[in-house]
Structure 1
Amino acid sequence: MIEDVFRAQYGRAVSVLTRLLGDIDLAEEAVQDAFATAVLRWPVDGIPPAPAGWIITTARNRAIDRLRREAKGHEKQAQAALLHHEPEEQEVGDVPDDRLRLIFTCCHPSLALPAQVALTLKLLGGLTTAEIAKAFLVPEPTMAQRIVRAKGKIRAARIPYRVPRDADLPERLKAVLAVVYLIFNEGYLDRAELAEEAIRLGRVLAGLMPDEPEVWGLLALMLLVASRREARLRDGRIVLLQDQDRARWNADLVREGQDLVRRCLRWNRPGPYQLQAAINAVHSDPPADWHQVVALYDQLMAITPSPVVALHRAVALAETEGPERALLEVDALDLDRYHLFHAVRADLLQRLGKDPAAALEAALDRAEHPAERELLGERLRALRLAADQEDRADDDR
Structure 2
Amino acid sequence: MPPTERRADEIESARRSVAAVWRIESARIVATLTRTVGDFALAEDLAQEALADALAQWPQTGVPSNPGAWLTSVAKRKAIDGWRRRERYDDRMAVIAHDLEAEERRATDESELPWDPDRIDDDVLRLVFVACHPVLSREARVALTLKVVGGLSSEEIARAFLVPTSTVQQRIVRAKKTLGAAKVPFAVPGREEFTERLGAVLGVLYLVFNEGHSASAGDDWMRPDLSREALRLGRVLAQLVPDEPEVHGLLALMELTAARFPARIDAQGDPVLLADQDRRRWDRAAIVRGRSALARSDELGRGRGAYALQAAIAECHDLAPSVDDTDWDRIVVLYEALGRLAPSPVVELNRAAAVAMADGPAAALEIVDGLAAGGALAGYRFLPATRGELLSRLGRTDEARAEFEAAARLTGNDRERRLLLDRAAELR
Task: With the length of structure 1 as denominator, give the TM-score of the two structures.
Answer: 0.71
Instruction: Provide the residue aligned with 2:200 in structure 1.
Output: 175
Q: What's the offset of the Cα at 1:53?
A: 5.1
Contact 2:266 2:272 survives alignment (8 Å): yes
Q: Is 1:241 aligned with 2:274?
A: yes
Instruction: Provide the residue aligned with 1:33 in structure 2.
Output: 49
Instruction: Provide the residue aligned with 1:222 in structure 2.
Output: 254
Instruction: Provide the residue aligned with 1:254 in structure 2.
Output: 287
Counterpart secondary structure, 1:91: coil
d(CA) in 2 for partners of 1:249 and 1:278? 17
- The letter for the 2-side match of 1:334 is L
| CA distance 1:54–1:73, change in 2 (3 Å) | closer
Q: What's the offset of the Cα at 1:204?
A: 0.9
d(CA) in 1 for partners of 2:210 and 2:54? 28
Instruction: Provide the residue aligned with 1:395 in structure 2.
Output: none
Contact 1:203 1:219 survives alignment (8 Å): yes
Contact 2:209 2:226 survives alignment (8 Å): no
Contact 1:221 1:257 survives alignment (8 Å): yes
Contact 1:48 1:54 survives alignment (8 Å): no
d(CA) in 1 for partners of 2:172 and 2:342? 24
Contact 2:34 2:43 survives alignment (8 Å): yes
| CA distance 1:262–1:38, change in 2 (3 Å) | closer
Contact 1:343 1:363 survives alignment (8 Å): no
Q: Is 1:48 aligned with 2:63?
A: yes
Contact 1:103 1:120 survives alignment (8 Å): yes
Contact 1:117 1:175 survives alignment (8 Å): no
Q: What's the offset of the Cα at 1:108?
A: 6.0
| CA distance 1:291–1:149, change in 2 (3 Å) | farther
Provide Cα deviations, 1:268-323, integer angstroms capped at 9, x if missing partner. 62311121111112212222222322322222222223344344334324434416
Correspondent of 1:231 among 263, 268, 276: 263
Gaps of 5+ in 2: 1-15, 104-111, 214-223
| CA distance 1:158–1:234, change in 2 (3 Å) | same
Q: Percent identity?
A: 36
Gaps of 5+ in 1: 368-372, 391-397
Greater C-alpha Rg: 2
- The letter for the 2-side match of 1:28 is E
Q: What's the offset of the Cα at 1:381?
A: 5.4
- The letter for the 2-side match of 1:103 is V
How many pairs are equivalent? Answer: 372
Correspondent of 2:318 among 278, 284, 292: 284
Q: What's the offset of the Cα at 1:25?
A: 0.3
| CA distance 1:113–1:191, change in 2 (3 Å) | closer
Q: Is 1:69 aligned with 2:94?
A: no
Q: Is 1:82 aligned with 2:104?
A: no
**RMSD, aligned CA:** 4.5
Correspondent of 1:104 among 107, 129, 132: 129
| CA distance 1:245–1:258, change in 2 (3 Å) | same
Contact 1:271 1:303 survives alignment (8 Å): yes
Contact 1:317 1:326 survives alignment (8 Å): no
